[in-house]
Chains A and B, each alone.
Chain A
């Protein structure tokens, strides 16, 4: 193999994989503008299914419920995930540390069906014992928050690990009490990680169908649950329309944020360079 053909092979391989990854997404978007009732046969372009979507009150209320659950569970995930990350990162030795480590990685490695089943059985037990909670929004929230906590803990941990522990010491040296160390130094430096943990756990929740199916009660259907039940029955062009809307929102958000961070980075570089040239005068 010479290096030129090698390069072509590499490029082709990468292109094929990317095509594989994006093919279904492209199809979703393209066929959402299809006028035919058959999802798979192109007739001509129209916004028919978007109009149908606007009238689909089941789906819309499911989307709203999903947004609500995703937002709340992401907040909870970030909250508990931060605690977990701190416990595991700042305290190297305590009784049952290994247990906490394995418990916190359990939701990451267990299949969703098991997490869903076990949580449901626990909730039913508590229900029989105490008379609450009713299955519904709250129980779904618990499930999503459990899963999200595990992911958020990973994100926050990796940030904590690269953060200079000397900063904590410096702040203490300058008179911060332990709580002030957190509010004045650690927390402000953690904010970017908390934001990405929020976004990640939000999407996880917004995407989940298995946990929600186990944990929801009558009258509480999240968007993935609705889509799943429709997809099981057959193909439905409204789903394409929903998909396209979420893809559009996500794409815009991702592009905007990456544009913003690269801008920030460039600004930072420029100022840094300026600082050096100034100091050499």
Chain B
């Protein structure tokens, strides 16, 4: 699921956007964004990921200039833009529902921002042509937005916001209005166009897959503040809290206590099993922790593993076939249900397990993450 981080080290690490302790309070009571700080490097695609109402759009709108922060400052290339109106910021935004001007043609939509800058006519024409061909929309130049399909509208919105060559491009749920199938192909198309132009992006999404495939770094948001900021694989493989682990992908969480706390390993005793974690953690023995284990890291078999640690047994209560893999729901003796995901790497379906079978789940000692929060 997680692709390789996208050339995160490519550009010399130059800070483009800096958000400092920004808070936004609506109506004196609703804290939509709560003391958030972040930096976005030049050339980066930075994703804000979080559930509905967590404040992603509010944060993005403050970057665009549609909202002023209640507290804190925003810098773009070391210039304080906190109070700069949107039309004076070298930042452009692609809107959630595209917000294409219905009374203007595709061509005029793309040219709209350039005309405001007073660019000479022939230069505008040249730039618009270039933008349209980038999105493969040349033949639709004369159409009005309502005469385009959803995917075409989405591309018009993208190149419209790129036409002014902004220093920073903001995308609010860029694929939110598309159906699932179109989404996947468009994701890559979008990233290609963005990389071709080489613009820095901040992207808002509630879809973790979208964030994983498109972004070089992800900030996971909840209730107005950041839970974790990091590269997609870090956030996925090393979530720093139960919330992050739960939000990104599927996860089984075992609650338990640290028993042995050694520099090179720890053991965690849970009601279901004992986890032997092959690296040290910041904790102490006796501490209550959660052990997060991704379903794809679990191996299932009918035979009891001959190890002391890192396995448990249960009854198969559900089998969900996904094509490329199959997910088994295992009801452990304690009553807890865990999910295990097996690759279907042969056409001989399943590892011989069916409903009601007793199965053993086991995993390696580097498969899990100990969560102290």
Does chain A touch chain B in the assembled complex, meaning CB atoms less than 8 Å apart?
A: yes
Q: Enumerate chain A interface residues (CB-CB to B < 8 A).
A: 164, 166-167, 169-177, 180, 184-185, 188-189, 268, 271-272, 274-276, 278-280
Nearest 10 interchain pairs by C-beta: A174-B113, A175-B116, A279-B149, A170-B99, A166-B99, A271-B147, A172-B86, A275-B147, A188-B103, A175-B87
Interface residues of B in 103-126 (CB under 8 A from A): 103, 112-113, 116-117
Total interface residues in chain B, CB < 8 Å: 32
- Which of A166, A180, A272 contacts B147 (CB under 8 A)? A272
Q: Enumerate 20 A-B pairs (CB-CB under 8 Å) in ascending A order.
A: A166-B97, A166-B99, A167-B101, A169-B66, A169-B93, A169-B99, A170-B100, A171-B112, A172-B65, A173-B66, A173-B161, A174-B87, A174-B113, A174-B161, A175-B117, A184-B112, A189-B103, A271-B147, A275-B152, A279-B148
A274: chain B residues at CB < 8 Å are 147
- Complex Cα–Cα for A174 and B93 (A): 8
B95: chain A residues at CB < 8 Å are 166, 169-170
Q: Is the CB of A172 within 8 A of B103?
A: no
Q: A171-B101, A176-B116, A271-B146 are in contact. List 9 more A-B contacts (CB 8 A).
A: A166-B96, A169-B64, A169-B86, A170-B93, A172-B66, A172-B85, A173-B65, A272-B146, A275-B147
Q: Is the CB of A279 within 8 A of B151?
A: yes
Q: How far is the CB of B132 from chain A (nearest CB, A)?
A: 15
Given A171-B112, A174-B113, A174-B116; A164-B99 close (CB under 8 Å): yes
Q: Is the CB of A189 within 8 A of B117?
A: no
Interface residues of B in 59-116 (CB under 8 A from A): 64-66, 85-87, 91-93, 95-97, 99-103, 112-113, 116
Q: Is the CB of A180 within 8 A of B116?
A: yes
- Which of B85, B100, B152 contacts A279 (CB under 8 A)? B152
Most buried by B among A167, A170, A171, A276: A170
B143 and chain A: residue at smallest CB distance: A275
- Which of B87, B102, B151, B160 contacts A172 (CB under 8 A)? B87
A180: chain B residues at CB < 8 Å are 116
Q: Is the CB of B97 within 8 A of A174?
A: no
A166: chain B residues at CB < 8 Å are 95-97, 99
Question: B18: CB under 8 A from chain A?
Answer: no
Q: Is the CB of B93 within 8 A of A175?
A: no
A177 and chain B: residue at smallest CB distance: B87
B149 and chain A: residue at smallest CB distance: A279
Q: Is the CB of B160 within 8 A of A174?
A: yes
Q: How far is the CB of A43 from chain B (nearest CB, A)?
A: 56
B97 and chain A: residue at smallest CB distance: A166
Q: Is the CB of A189 within 8 A of B149?
A: no
Q: Is the CB of A170 within 8 A of B147?
A: no
Q: Is the CB of B146 within 8 A of A175?
A: no
- Complex Cα–Cα for A105 and B87 (A): 36
A189: chain B residues at CB < 8 Å are 102-103
A188 and chain B: residue at smallest CB distance: B103
- Complex Cα–Cα for A189 and B307 (A): 72
Question: B164: CB under 8 A from chain A?
Answer: yes
A171: chain B residues at CB < 8 Å are 101, 112
Q: How far is the CB of B62 from chain A (nearest CB, A)?
A: 13
- Complex Cα–Cα for A229 and B2 (A): 84
B139 and chain A: residue at smallest CB distance: A278
Q: How far is the CB of A257 from chain B (nearest CB, A)?
A: 19
B66: chain A residues at CB < 8 Å are 169, 172-173
Q: Is the CB of B149 within 8 A of A275?
A: yes
Q: How far is the CB of A46 from chain B (nearest CB, A)?
A: 51
Most buried by B among A174, A185, A271, A276: A174
- Which of A164, A174, A271, A280 contacts B164 (CB under 8 A)? A174
Q: How far is the CB of A61 from chain B (nearest CB, A)?
A: 42
A184: chain B residues at CB < 8 Å are 112
Interface residues of B in 134-174 (CB under 8 A from A): 143-144, 146-149, 151-152, 160-161, 164
A175: chain B residues at CB < 8 Å are 87, 113, 116-117, 164
Q: How far is the CB of B181 from chain A (nearest CB, A)?
A: 12
Given A176-B87, A272-B147, A275-B143; A170-B117 close (CB under 8 Å): no
Q: Is the CB of B97 within 8 A of A164?
A: yes
Q: How far is the CB of A139 from chain B (nearest CB, A)?
A: 39
B113 and chain A: residue at smallest CB distance: A174
Q: Is the CB of A185 within 8 A of B87?
A: no
- Which of B93, B100, B147, B149 contacts A173 (CB under 8 A)? B93
Q: Is the CB of A174 within 8 A of B112?
A: yes
Q: Is the CB of A173 within 8 A of B152?
A: no
Q: How far is the CB of B99 from chain A (nearest CB, A)?
A: 4
- Complex Cα–Cα for A268 and B103 (A): 13
Q: How far is the CB of B10 from chain A (nearest CB, A)?
A: 27
Q: How far is the CB of A19 from chain B (nearest CB, A)?
A: 41
B164: chain A residues at CB < 8 Å are 174-175
- Complex Cα–Cα for A269 and B87 (A): 35
Q: Is the CB of A173 within 8 A of B112?
A: no
Q: How far is the CB of A108 from chain B (nearest CB, A)?
A: 30
Q: How far is the CB of B128 from chain A (nearest CB, A)?
A: 13
- Complex Cα–Cα for A260 and B300 (A): 69
- Complex Cα–Cα for A189 and B86 (A): 22
A272: chain B residues at CB < 8 Å are 146-147
- Complex Cα–Cα for A274 and B95 (A): 25
B160: chain A residues at CB < 8 Å are 174
Per-position 1/0 for B339-355, Cβ under 8 A of A: 00000000000000000
Given A272-B147, A275-B147, A275-B152; A174-B85 close (CB under 8 Å): no
Q: How far is the CB of B161 from chain A (nearest CB, A)?
A: 8
Q: How far is the CB of B85 from chain A (nearest CB, A)?
A: 7
Q: How far is the CB of A271 from chain B (nearest CB, A)?
A: 4
Q: How far is the CB of A150 from chain B (nearest CB, A)?
A: 28
- Complex Cα–Cα for A279 and B153 (A): 11
A181 and chain B: residue at smallest CB distance: B87
